[in-house]
Amino acid sequence: MCNPITVAVELMHYGFWKPTVEEHAGGWVGFAPAFGQHVGIAIIISIVIVVIGQVTFRRFESTFAQDL
């Protein structure tokens, strides 16, 4: 659950399979404990990586054509 992609795959599974599974008394079965925290952490990690990528791209954008 430390990898943001794992959380995204689990959310995709939830969205795909949820309509086909009967409701259990305790709700959706199969999520890890504290899955909501994992989703929040994955969103934060993803935002940080996007910001780092944007800053890096903007820094090297001006000399990209010359470097090729």
* pLDDT 10s digits, 11-53: 888 888 777 776 665 555 667 777 888 888 888 988 999 999 9
CA 51, 32, 35, 29: dihedral to nearest 10 degrees? 130
pLDDT in tens, 50-66: 999 999 988 888 777 77
Alpha carbon distance 36, 41 (integer Å): 9
Q: For position 30, what pLDDT does the model report?
A: 65
With b for 16 or more beta-carbon neighbours within 10 A and e for fewer, the 8-45 pattern comes to eebeeeeeeeeeeeeeeeeeeeeeeeebeebbeebeee
Asked if 2 contacts 36 with a C-beta cutoff of 8 angstroms, the reply is no
